[in-house]
Chains A and B, each alone.
Chain A
Amino acid sequence: MRHAALPFLLAALAAPAAAQDSNTWSTMERGLYLFRLGDCAACHTIDEDRPMAGGLGLPTPFGTIYTPNLTPDEHSGIGDWTADDFHTAMTEGVRPGGERLYPAFPYTHFTHVTREDTEAIYAYLQSLEPVMNRVPDPEIPWPLSMRTAMRGWNLLFFDDEAGLEPAEGKPDEWHRGQYLAEGLAHCSACHSPRNLLGAEKDGPASYTGGVIEGWFAPSLRSTEGGEGIGDWSEDDLAKYLRYGRNGHTAAFGPMAEVVEKSTRWLSNADAAAIATYIKDLPYDAPDRVEMEEVSADDPVMQHGERIYATQCAACHGIDGEGVKNQFGRLAGSSLTQAENPLTVVRMVLEGARAVPSDKYPTPHAMPAFDWRLSDEDVAAVTTYVRNAFGNAAPAVSAETVAEIRE
């Protein structure tokens, strides 16, 4: 018998209906599926040989915190947690003993996860090999180092009672998508802007894009051209999640890792449900202004065009058309025209690597150009691609490039 059996049994008594099959093959399989959907390993696994042993340092605006060990080790992991404890941590951000978690752990999303689902994830985690690994304490200056301070943060930004609002007239698929996207998949954790205290902006500002690990996670709202993924169909989005590619672009940067570790495991039905929900997000951000394209006669555009023809056109095509499922299409691309040029500039400077999958095994990559293009060159060519082929977006300055290059 596993050492976790006793607390587990108690938990089962507490919630008999959900727990009846907690230890079965199918529960653990479902737990693994949900665990992947939550992309838990992205933060809790740093060594593939010791999965979920934690210890990843997360640089937050307030200091570094280290992800906990979620293996069933009794001393350093969660071997002595009950399913109740796990559910409380997931949905309220509170550990057994009352210690509050920092919101780098997305309990503001996981609060939507049902008891049945946390139970399955718990069952899966308890089936892992226990690893003894004490993770370092957070390096956060006082007063935030007092975890009780999170009580105040929670008062401002977190309501564990608030459920997901059912929308009238929306199909079940939409609701399933809402449950997954707002909950375990926590899409808006990256794709929404954050306020000064590190909380996601909500309402119309949510899903309008955010900066994560120095990349701009684009808006997921469906506008006409420009920002957002208005030019993607639901099927395009579902394919992107499943395979890391669609006819428009490939996943790269942090999203490549999300596809690799998480969304590629989505069932077709769940990928479609998330796409249905995301594609239905209304676009009503108030501060959106129509972009006016930089004139083709502008000397910067002409400089950019020359660079584009010699450095970029071999793959992306002279008209920015790209090669379907191989080289990104720039004409009409929301990413290229995003108001924040961070990603497009980084792509040119550092290059990017698409994540290979069974469906698209070719590991396509864009090479780095930082060693051969000056700040002025990068500014010119990014301004060009943002304003050629029918695109329109603000010009990029050499100063902006210099800052990003730092």
Chain B
Amino acid sequence: MTRILPEREVVVVGFGWTGAIVAEQLTDAGMDVLALERGYWTDTSTDYAVNNAQDEVRYRYRDELFEDLSRETLTFRNEVGQTALPMRMLGSFLPGTNVGGSITHWNGQAWRFLPSDFQARTHNTDRYGTGIFEEGMTVQDWGVTYDELEPHYDTFDKICGISGKAGNLGGEIQEGGNPFEGPRSSEYPNPPMRMVAAPLKFADAAQELGYNPFPGPSANMSQAYTNPLGVQLAPCSYCGFCEKYACGNYSKATALTTIVPALMRRENFTLKTGAMVLRVEKDRQNTRATGVTYIDTEGQEYFQPAQMVVLCTYITHNVNLLMQSGIGEIYDPRTGEGNVGRNYAYQAMSGASVFYDDFAVNPYVGAGALGQVIDDFNGDNFDHEGLGFIGGGYIAQWQTNGRPIESHPVPEGTPRFGAGWKRAVRDNYNHTIGVGAHGAVMSHRNNHFDLDPTYRDAYGRPLMRLTFDFRQNEVAMSAYLTDRVAEIARAMGGREVRVNPMTVPYDIAPYQTTHNTGGHIMGETPADSVTNKYNQSWDLPNLFLMGAGNFPQNPGYNPTGTVAALAYHSMKAVRDQYLANPGPLVQA
């Protein structure tokens, strides 16, 4: 028996980064906001105390911060026509759970996309002609521009206290920053992280080769910071436990360390944990969402009516909720029809390790976004004429960690176990520098989500099915980027270099990045997108979808900065226009 609860003005589904941003923005506008989170309450001081946060077994290997795949997961295959199998262990990406969401365990690499990234179709067509696009590539423009998002990137930088050095202030190129970035309205709120030896060695080599190194933008704090909400962050202690871990030192900007403490004090905000939303309900005429149905940990089902519903779950779950709720048409790669699930993309990763005899790296002095980067081969920052691909990626030396279980780089030819392996680990642990390329993945008609015909989740719903492989564009692009990585690595003066190219076909088992994108993409018309430029559903105007599911394709950067900027951009439109006149913000 489903219990029916009193109506709320706004229901936010999933309480991570975007859930916190949406709730903060709408409670600030005086709205009554209820957030539903499937996980439990967490905060820094209680759950991630500085004397137990750095536990590799507990967090990395026993998945304490990640979602429970025994309740829901997805099935996977590389190609349409193959039979997909359920993912029973976490690998390629690590969806989070609990209050704070996945961002609790991010590294803190806080990027903005290039202005041309938002016009991937028209920009590349204008410069190279339509022949540059691979057959089957479904790259499209976002419907929103960098200039429209800039104020919101700026808001997010200040909420987080991002550490970095501007490369372009209002159109003027700045010494020491990224000369390729879009114009910024203000300098980073905090100075760059204190550099250690490895990134500096990378920067020297890159400089000698004629590239433009700069300190990576970091959500790890280079100094103590108080954000505009009065929430405080402490200086990073460079302990090297960021990605896959929560920060115990209040030194990494996350939902928990920037917004939640201020939000929880607001009387017009309510958070309900242990509330697993199963579907969004809509009216019979298919004109608006009427609320959500959720189940609590005791198995009781509730209908929570709401005037406005905002989906803020992990990318895959936002898409899944649309499919389970029958909102929009599920994409079919055979016909190309339907938009829900279309244009899934990921990230094309490759790298190289430089081994030294004597040079001491001290890898345990690390932080998730402590590094030096070049952006010379990202987006359209270089001439693609004759290269056979579009897009690119940044190349970086991040000194993120020297965690003892996870981190033991060894040269090529080392035995996989036994005394020889142990010796190699001992000899190389403190004498290895990794360089990586973080490449874009362009969308393709065969990469998509739909519902699995065979497997079901613990709630009886069909599992979502992911079909994905790297396509010709990624293979060519990644090969090109990996060559650039190898050149720089060889210029870094080590004894030997081991190159780690991207492996094809894509394998979902090994960890790569947690940067899944697409599936409910934004765009200019309902014909080729799920949401308009304000992340508002074309189908149900009182339904909004946050997150990287809105990305039509995935540029060569980490997505978080853009995810947040899109959320603030959406909420500004809601506050300024939608609340007074609830209806479509863009006329189709």
Task: Please report the C-alpha to C-alpha distance between residue A326 and residue B229 in the assembled complex, in whole angstroms.
Answer: 15
Across the interface, A326 reaches (CB within 8 A) one of B52, B234, B237, namely: B234
Which of B49, B52, B232, B239 has the most chain A CB within a 10 Å cutoff? B232
Known: A311-B51, A363-B261. A358 touches B43 (CB 8 A): no
B229 touching A361, Cβ below 8 Å: yes
- Beyond A362-B231, A367-B248, 19 additional pairs, beta carbon < 8 A: A311-B51, A314-B50, A315-B234, A315-B237, A325-B226, A325-B232, A326-B224, A327-B234, A351-B49, A356-B265, A360-B230, A361-B264, A362-B257, A363-B43, A364-B45, A365-B49, A367-B49, A367-B50, A368-B49
A360 contact set on B, CB distance < 8 A: 230, 232
Across the interface, B224 reaches (CB within 8 A) one of A323, A363, A369, namely: A323
- The smallest C-beta distance from B381 to any residue of chain A, in angstroms, reads 38
The number of chain B residues with a CB under 8 A from chain A is: 26
Indicate with 1 or 0, residue by residue over B238-267, a CB within 8 angstroms of chain A CB atoms: 010000000011100000010001101100
Main secondary structure of the interface of B (DSSP, over half): loop
A364 contact set on B, CB distance < 8 A: 45, 232, 250
* B411 interfacial contact with A, CB 8 Å: no
Complex: chain B residue closest to A362, CB-CB: B232
* A359 interfacial contact with B, CB 8 Å: yes
* B526 interfacial contact with A, CB 8 Å: no
Which 3 pairs of residues, A with B, have the shortest CB-CB distance? A365-B45, A367-B49, A314-B237
Known: A325-B232, A359-B230. A314 touches B224 (CB 8 A): no
* A170 interfacial contact with B, CB 8 Å: no
B250 contact set on A, CB distance < 8 A: 326, 362, 364
List residues of B whose CB falls within 8 A of some A CB.
43-46, 49-52, 224, 226, 229-232, 234-235, 237, 239, 248-250, 257, 261-262, 264-265
- The smallest C-beta distance from B44 to any residue of chain A, in angstroms, reads 8
* A353 interfacial contact with B, CB 8 Å: yes
- The smallest C-beta distance from B240 to any residue of chain A, in angstroms, reads 12
* A75 interfacial contact with B, CB 8 Å: no
Task: Please report the C-alpha to C-alpha distance between residue A356 and residue B44 in the assembled complex, in whole angstroms.
Answer: 13
Interface residues of A in 338-371 (CB under 8 A from B): 351, 353, 356, 358-365, 367-369
Complex: chain A residue closest to B46, CB-CB: A365
Known: A314-B239, A326-B250. A361 touches B49 (CB 8 A): no
Complex: chain B residue closest to A354, CB-CB: B45
Known: A323-B235, A356-B265. A315 touches B230 (CB 8 A): no
A358 touching B230, Cβ below 8 Å: yes
Known: A315-B249, A356-B261. A326 touches B51 (CB 8 A): no
**6 A-B pairs whose Cβ atoms sit less than 8 Å apart in the complex:** A314-B237, A326-B250, A356-B265, A360-B232, A365-B49, A367-B51
A361 touching B262, Cβ below 8 Å: yes
Complex: chain A residue closest to B262, CB-CB: A361
Across the interface, B51 reaches (CB within 8 A) one of A356, A359, A372, namely: A372
Interface residues of A in 209-244 (CB under 8 A from B): none
- The smallest C-beta distance from A68 to any residue of chain B, in angstroms, reads 31
B224 contact set on A, CB distance < 8 A: 323-324, 326
- The smallest C-beta distance from B10 to any residue of chain A, in angstroms, reads 21
Task: Please report the C-alpha to C-alpha distance between residue A314 and residue B229 in the assembled complex, in whole angstroms.
Answer: 25
B261 contact set on A, CB distance < 8 A: 356, 361-363
B239 contact set on A, CB distance < 8 A: 314
Indicate with 1 or 0, residue by residue over A293-320, a CB within 8 angstroms of chain B CB atoms: 0000000000000000001001100000
Known: A326-B224, A367-B45. A361 touches B234 (CB 8 A): no
Task: Please report the C-alpha to C-alpha distance between residue A47 and residue B46 in the assembled complex, in whole angstroms.
Answer: 24
- The smallest C-beta distance from B45 to any residue of chain A, in angstroms, reads 3
Task: Please report the C-alpha to C-alpha distance between residue A351 and residue B46 in the assembled complex, in whole angstroms.
Answer: 11
Task: Indicate the size class of the contact surface on chain A.
Answer: 20 to 34
Known: A361-B230, A362-B250, A367-B51. A353 touches B45 (CB 8 A): yes
B45 touching A363, Cβ below 8 Å: yes
Indicate with 1 or 0, residue by residue over A328-339, a CB within 8 angstroms of chain B CB atoms: 000000000000
Across the interface, B265 reaches (CB within 8 A) one of A326, A327, A361, A365, namely: A361
Task: Please report the C-alpha to C-alpha distance between residue A315 and residue B250 in the assembled complex, in whole angstroms.
Answer: 10
Task: Please report the C-alpha to C-alpha distance between residue A369 and residue B52 in the assembled complex, in whole angstroms.
Answer: 10
Interface residues of A in 154-200 (CB under 8 A from B): none
A326 contact set on B, CB distance < 8 A: 224, 232, 234, 250
B50 contact set on A, CB distance < 8 A: 314-315, 367
Task: Please report the C-alpha to C-alpha distance between residue A34 and residue B135 in the assembled complex, in whole angstroms.
Answer: 77
Task: Please report the C-alpha to C-alpha distance between residue A124 and residue B239 in the assembled complex, in whole angstroms.
Answer: 53
Complex: chain A residue closest to B238, CB-CB: A314
Interface residues of A in 361-400 (CB under 8 A from B): 361-365, 367-369, 372
Task: Please report the C-alpha to C-alpha distance between residue A361 and residue B269 in the assembled complex, in whole angstroms.
Answer: 15
B230 contact set on A, CB distance < 8 A: 358-361
B237 contact set on A, CB distance < 8 A: 314-315
Known: A358-B265, A361-B261. A367 touches B52 (CB 8 A): yes
A361 touching B231, Cβ below 8 Å: yes
Task: Please report the C-alpha to C-alpha distance between residue A326 and residue B50 in the assembled complex, in whole angstroms.
Answer: 14
Which of A314, A315, A356 has the most chain B CB within a 10 Å cutoff? A314
Task: Please report the C-alpha to C-alpha distance between residue A47 and residue B486 in the assembled complex, in whole angstroms.
Answer: 66
Task: Please report the C-alpha to C-alpha distance between residue A362 and residue B52 in the assembled complex, in whole angstroms.
Answer: 20
B226 contact set on A, CB distance < 8 A: 325
A369 touching B249, Cβ below 8 Å: no
Task: Please report the C-alpha to C-alpha distance between residue A327 and residue B264 in the assembled complex, in whole angstroms.
Answer: 22
Task: Please report the C-alpha to C-alpha distance between residue A361 and residue B45 in the assembled complex, in whole angstroms.
Answer: 13
Which of A314, A324, A362 has the most chain B CB within a 10 Å cutoff? A362
Complex: chain B residue closest to A372, CB-CB: B51
- The smallest C-beta distance from A316 to any residue of chain B, in angstroms, reads 11
B262 contact set on A, CB distance < 8 A: 361
- The smallest C-beta distance from B426 to any residue of chain A, in angstroms, reads 23
- The smallest C-beta distance from B222 to any residue of chain A, in angstroms, reads 13
Complex: chain A residue closest to B49, CB-CB: A367
B248 contact set on A, CB distance < 8 A: 367
- The smallest C-beta distance from B501 to any residue of chain A, in angstroms, reads 38
Interface residues of A in 239-266 (CB under 8 A from B): none
B49 contact set on A, CB distance < 8 A: 351, 365, 367-368
Task: Please report the C-alpha to C-alpha distance between residue A327 and residue B248 in the assembled complex, in whole angstroms.
Answer: 13
Complex: chain A residue closest to B260, CB-CB: A361
Task: Please report the C-alpha to C-alpha distance between residue A372 and residue B54 in the assembled complex, in whole angstroms.
Answer: 14
Complex: chain B residue closest to A358, CB-CB: B265
- The smallest C-beta distance from B169 to any residue of chain A, in angstroms, reads 29
Task: Please report the C-alpha to C-alpha distance between residue A109 and residue B518 in the assembled complex, in whole angstroms.
Answer: 67
A315 contact set on B, CB distance < 8 A: 50, 234, 237, 249
- The smallest C-beta distance from A21 to any residue of chain B, in angstroms, reads 30
- The smallest C-beta distance from A378 to any residue of chain B, in angstroms, reads 13
Task: Please report the C-alpha to C-alpha distance between residue A321 and residue B463 in the assembled complex, in whole angstroms.
Answer: 53
- The smallest C-beta distance from A357 to any residue of chain B, in angstroms, reads 9
Task: Please report the C-alpha to C-alpha distance between residue A194 and residue B265 in the assembled complex, in whole angstroms.
Answer: 38
Complex: chain A residue closest to B48, CB-CB: A367
A314 contact set on B, CB distance < 8 A: 50, 237, 239, 249
A358 contact set on B, CB distance < 8 A: 230, 265
- The smallest C-beta distance from A320 to any residue of chain B, in angstroms, reads 15
A323 contact set on B, CB distance < 8 A: 224, 234-235
Task: Please report the C-alpha to C-alpha distance between residue A360 and residue B262 in the assembled complex, in whole angstroms.
Answer: 9
Task: Please report the C-alpha to C-alpha distance between residue A360 and residue B226 in the assembled complex, in whole angstroms.
Answer: 9
- The smallest C-beta distance from A85 to any residue of chain B, in angstroms, reads 36
Complex: chain B residue closest to A317, CB-CB: B235
Task: Please report the C-alpha to C-alpha distance between residue A360 and residue B46 in the assembled complex, in whole angstroms.
Answer: 17
A365 contact set on B, CB distance < 8 A: 45-46, 49
A351 contact set on B, CB distance < 8 A: 49
B43 contact set on A, CB distance < 8 A: 363
A369 contact set on B, CB distance < 8 A: 51
Interface residues of A in 256-281 (CB under 8 A from B): none
Task: Please report the C-alpha to C-alpha distance between residue A360 and residue B250 in the assembled complex, in whole angstroms.
Answer: 14
Task: Please report the C-alpha to C-alpha distance between residue A358 and residue B231 in the assembled complex, in whole angstroms.
Answer: 9
A372 contact set on B, CB distance < 8 A: 51
Complex: chain B residue closest to A325, CB-CB: B232
Complex: chain A residue closest to B230, CB-CB: A361
A359 contact set on B, CB distance < 8 A: 230
Task: Please report the C-alpha to C-alpha distance between residue A364 and residue B239 in the assembled complex, in whole angstroms.
Answer: 19
Complex: chain B residue closest to A314, CB-CB: B237
